[in-house]
Amino acid sequence: MNNRDLCLALLSADTKTEVIDILTAAGYWDDLSMWRHFGGIENNYSIISNQQATAPAALVEKLTNAIDAVLLLEWELTRRKGKYDQPPSSPREAAQNFFRIPNGDLSALTDTERRTLSERISLVATGKKSTPTFSIIDRGEGQHPDSFTDTFLSLKKSNKLRIPLVQGKFNMGGTGALVFAGDRNFQLIISRRHDLLDGGPWGFTITRRLPPDVARRSSTFMYLAPGGTILAFDNTAPLIFSPNGRPQSIAFELNHGTIVKLYEYRLQPKALASNILFDLNYHLSLLLPEPVLPIRLYERRGDFTGHSMEATLVGIKNRLKSERAPLEIDPLLGSISLRFEDRVYHLPVSTYVFKDKPGHYKDRQGILFVLNGQCHGVLSQDFFKRKNVKLSYLENFLLVSVNCDALPNDVIEDLFMNSRDRLKDTAVRRQIEQSLENYLSNHEGLRQLAEKRGSRLSPMLRNWTARLKLLFRRFLTLTVILRTFCSAEES
Cis check for the bond before 269: say yes or no (omega within 30 of 0): yes
Query: Residues 248, 362: one domain?
Result: no
Q: How many independent structural domains does the chain possess?
A: 2
In a domain, 458, yes or no: no
**Do 367 and 271 sit in the same domain of this protein?**
no
| Bridging pattern class, strands 295-299 and 121-127 | parallel
Same-domain status, 342 and 252: no
Answer whether residue 480 is part of any domain: no
Q: In whole angstroms, how far apart are CA 112 and each of 98, 117, 184, 322?
A: 18, 9, 40, 13
Whether 85 and 177 share a structural domain: yes
- Domain range holding 262? 3-317
Judged by phi (left if over 0) then psi (alpha if -120 to 50, else beta), residue 373 lies in left
Please check whether residue 490 lies inside any domain of the structure: no
Residues 457, 449: Cα–Cα separation, whole Å:
12
Beta-carbon contacts of 13 under 8 Å, excluding residues fewer than 6 positions away, are 19, 22, 263
Residue 399's pLDDT is what?
97
Residue at a domain's end among 300, 317, 334: 317
Question: Any alpha helices (H) in 118-233, and if so which ranges?
Answer: none
3-state class (DSSP) for residue 364: coil
Stretches where the chain sits below pLDDT 70 are 158-162, 168-173, 245-249, 457-466, 488-491
Domain boundary among 294, 317, 340: 317
- Residue 331: inside a domain, yes or no? yes
Identify which of 7, 77, 236, 44 has the alpha carbon closest to the alpha carbon of residue 155. Answer: 44
Q: What does the DSSP assignment read for 5-42? A: HHHHHHHH--SHHHHHHHHHHTT-SS-GGGEEEGGG-T
188 and 41 belong to one structural domain: yes
Does 311 lie in the same domain as 335?
no
Whether residues 124 and 193 share a domain: the answer is: yes
227 domain-assigned = yes
Q: Are residues 276 and 367 in the same domain?
A: no
**474 located within any domain:** no
Q: How many whole angstroms separate alpha carbon 203 and alpha carbon 132?
A: 25
The answer on 269 and 344 residing in a single domain is: no
Quote the pLDDT of residue 458. Answer: 54
Q: Which pLDDT value is given to residue 366?
A: 97
Residue 223 lies in a domain: yes
- Write the DSSP string, 277-312: TTHHHHHHHHHSSS-SS-EEEEE--TT---S--EEE
Same domain? 289 vs 152: yes
**Alpha-carbon span 276 to 295, nearest angstrom:** 13
Does 186 share its domain with 133?
yes
Q: Are residues 303 and 331 in the same domain?
A: no
Q: What is the pTM of this model?
A: 0.90
Domain closes at, from 267, 289, 317: 317
Q: What is the CATH number of the domain that holds 332?
A: 3.30.230
pLDDT tens digit sequence for 75-127: 999 988 887 778 899 999 999 999 999 988 999 999 999 999 999 999 999 99
Position 148 in a domain:
yes
**Cα separation, 145 vs 160, whole angstroms:** 19
Residue 139 in contact with residue 254, Cβ under 8 Å? Answer: yes
* Cβ atoms 173, 51 nearer than 8 A: yes
